Amino acid sequence: MNLTQEDWIAQLEADENAVILDVRTEDECDEGIIPNAINIDIHKGQGFISEIEQLDKSKNYYVYCRSGARSAKACEIMNELGFDNAYNLLGGMLDWDGEVVTP
């Protein structure tokens, strides 16, 4: 599901079962991540799928990338793997005006 930054943040802040997932490359993450995000690079292909399959399907995943394209694809993959609760951040880090931390 695609959410605007405002909706993504509002839903995330009200969600006690939330996991923030960054699907960018390690180099991109080194430039800064949303606080408490975990990183699984979608460019890993089968490695990405293997790591996603190990995640807890009962949690809610707030997914982002640089622009929103890779995270939209990641949400599609997660839905196919049985995750009903993956939320894509429209605009990604390019439009993000919230807090950013260095990992």
Catalytic residue positions, numbered: 65
Radius of gyration of the CA atoms of the chain, in A: 12
Pairing label, strands 38-39, 86-89: unpaired
Give the integer Cα–Cα distance in Å for 55 and 59: 8
The residue written with tokens 């260095």 in the block is: 102
Instruction: Report the amino acid identity of residue 89.
Output: L
3-state SS class at 12? helix
